[in-house]
Structure 1
Amino acid sequence: MVLAVAGTDSGGAAGLAADLATIGHLGCHGACAVTAVTAQDTTGVHAVHEVPVEVVARQLEAVLDDLPIAVVKTGMLGSPEVARLVADRLGHLPLVVDPVLAATSGAVLGVAAVARAYRDHLLPAAVVATPNLAEARALAGVDRDAPDLAARLADLGCAVVLTGGPDWRPDDDTRTCTDWLCLPGGTADPLPHPAVATTADHGTGCTFASALAAGIAHGAGLADAVLAASAYVTGRLEDSRSWTLGRGRGPISHTSPVHPVHPVQQEETA
């Protein structure tokens, strides 16, 4: 099973809504700990209420005392105190860290102190981090290209999948976008995949990281889990490309049946 530690999305597209939908879609039970409650829709984030760190800690304790967690996936943590808490309480488990600092809409969900807590505490404890380009630049503190940023962040001690995608517009004919995978001490390798022409893409980052966590929970190696997660997101975007939900960037689909995408047999710990 997978524990998702993240914020809510009242629009049901991102955050814990995407995490739990993806985890369940891919054959794992999902537990959760709420770090923040957002007033959010397809047009943006309108308000954020951070859950007190003591309450987050009690949620983690309740889950850990009762349930067999195979993998932890983190999203929006909201404060440096919660980032440190997650590293301290959950660092003994495989951590998939989606360092959520900004929403697809562009709304800022983190501050400089949170980025420092990620660098100093959470990324060194993680198995893999999945920043997008803007988040990678904020975490590294430099404006470099994607391969360089992935390598810089991997030097903190975890593998990095720097997710990439075109900022699609109706007249765009982009056919491919590229993620970058880098192991600690290595150089980044490109992972191209099909670009899907859609603006129904709210929640893609959460969905990718949760699919990656589910793959690891099922026993897949990192490289296979990354490729499977990318394929899953591509399929979800294809499914939602005709959707017209909301006035802004619509939600990615978690609704239609999927074929198993993980290359290994499911295990009881999932």
Structure 2
Amino acid sequence: MTVSRALTIAGSDSGGGAGIQADLKTFQELGVFGMTAITAVTAQNTLGVQGVYPLTLEALKTQIDSVAEDLSPHAIKTGMLFNADMIRLVSQQIVHYGWENIIVDPVMVAKGGQSLLQEEADEALITSLLPLAKVITPNIPEAEVLTGMEIRTLDHRKDAAKRLVDLGAKNVMVKGGHDSTNDVVTDLLYDGHTFHLFEGERKETKHTHGTGCTFAAAITAEISKGNNVLDAIQTAKAFIQSAIEDQLGFGSGHGPTNHWAYNKRNVYR
């Protein structure tokens, strides 16, 4: 039996709702063996980020090498990469090992508003990592940074997605959670040829910490199993919708989502 394996290269969230912790929980719930390469340790909770402590480039490279040389991941997710040097290193490692199933979650800002990516890293992400991406999953503010354009309408999102494909990404998923103009959340996928819309009911809640990490991790898990991008996103949408709707309800700020809700629904429905 072949066990599907996924590697996440991201930051550690001491609060457990996002980052490496959210990725591993998602991989596990979707039946995928998860592995990690940690870029930084963060001190955070539902109220915000109290500290970010990056690892050395040597520590990051050695983690990636250790996984690559023995455990052979079928898909790789990148999250918080902190600075330009880390982005370039990760990109070089991806090329070195010939990895193709790369899902890039361009983590730039925490839910509480604190920047998680140094400004000079934006260009490195665009020029080094984005062209390697099988799927990139920016929210609207992240898509604005990556494209340098203002995004207010669905047509704006389509233009942004086209620009990101022109920059090298194979598939661009511009998430619609930040567009609060209606009761339906519309995510937009562009595969370089066709636009696909994914709609879901908007849940009014403050417990959304880690939604971006979890969504991208679910896509990564499904692609590691050999599923195509469209099918992977369909599952990821159902996974994150369940995680948001079945609230855990703790924490004084932006609480975490419920990573076991998807399987609980499937088992007991």
Counterpart in the other structure of 2:252: 247
How far apart are the structure 2 equivalents of 1:246 and 1:120? 38
Percent of aligned pairs with the same residue?
39
How far apart are the structure 2 equivalents of 1:49 and 1:147? 36
How far apart are the structure 2 equivalents of 1:189 and 1:30? 29
The CA deviation at 1:224 is: 1.1
How far apart are the structure 2 equivalents of 1:90 and 1:48? 25
How big is each residue's C-alpha offset from its partner over 1:148-191, in whole Å with a ceiling of 9 and x where there is no partner? 212111211221101111577xxx9x53111110123x464332
Give 2:144's match in structure 1, choosing from 123, 137, 140. 137
Cα contact 1:35–1:78 (8 A) shared by 2: yes
Q: TM-score, normalised by structure 1?
A: 0.89
Give the 3-state SS of the residue equivalent to 2:120 in structure 1.
Answer: helix
Q: Aligned in 2, Cα 1:192/1:85: closer, same or farther, shift over 3 Å?
A: same
Q: Aligned in 2, Cα 1:246/1:259: closer, same or farther, shift over 3 Å?
A: closer
Give the 3-state SS of the residue equivalent to 2:13 in structure 1.
Answer: coil
Task: Give the structure with the higher percent helix.
Answer: 2
How far apart are the structure 2 equivalents of 1:140 and 1:220? 29
Q: Aligned in 2, Cα 1:119/1:166: closer, same or farther, shift over 3 Å?
A: closer
Counterpart in the other structure of 2:114: 107
Q: Which runs of 5+ in 1 are unaligned?
A: 262-270
Cα contact 1:3–1:32 (8 A) shared by 2: yes
Instruction: Kindly indicate whether residue 75 of structure 2 is the aligned counterpart of residue 71 of structure 1.
Output: yes
RMSD over equivalenced CA pairs, Å? 1.8
Alignment of 1:1-270 (within 5 A): 1-91=5-95, 92-93=98-99, 94-144=101-151, 145-158=156-169, 159-166=171-178, 174-184=182-192, 186=193, 188-240=195-247, 243-256=248-261, 258=263
How big is each residue's C-alpha offset from its partner over 1:17-45, in whole Å with a ceiling of 9 and x where there is no partner? 10000011100000000001111111111
The CA deviation at 1:251 is: 0.3
Cα contact 1:147–1:187 (8 A) shared by 2: no
How big is each residue's C-alpha offset from its partner over 1:198-243, in whole Å with a ceiling of 9 and x where there is no partner? 2111000000000000110111111111111111100111111xx3
Q: TM-score, normalised by structure 2?
A: 0.89
Cα contact 2:215–2:236 (8 A) shared by 1: yes
How far apart are the structure 2 equivalents of 1:130 and 1:166? 13
Counterpart in the other structure of 1:268: none
Divergent runs of 4+, >6 A: none
How far apart are the structure 1 equivalents of 2:204 and 2:220? 26
How far apart are the structure 2 equivalents of 1:233 and 1:177? 12
- Aligned pairs, how many? 254
Q: Which amino acid aligns with 1:156?
A: L
Q: Aligned in 2, Cα 1:183/1:167: closer, same or farther, shift over 3 Å?
A: closer
Q: Which runs of 5+ in 2 are unaligned?
A: none
Give the 3-state SS of the residue equivalent to 1:112 in structure 2.
Answer: coil
How big is each residue's C-alpha offset from its partner over 1:91-140, in whole Å with a ceiling of 9 and x where there is no partner? 42210000100112222111232111111010101111001111111111
How far apart are the structure 2 equivalents of 1:245 and 1:230? 23
Q: Which amino acid aligns with 1:85?
A: L
Q: Aligned in 2, Cα 1:253/1:196: closer, same or farther, shift over 3 Å?
A: same
Cα contact 1:166–1:195 (8 A) shared by 2: no
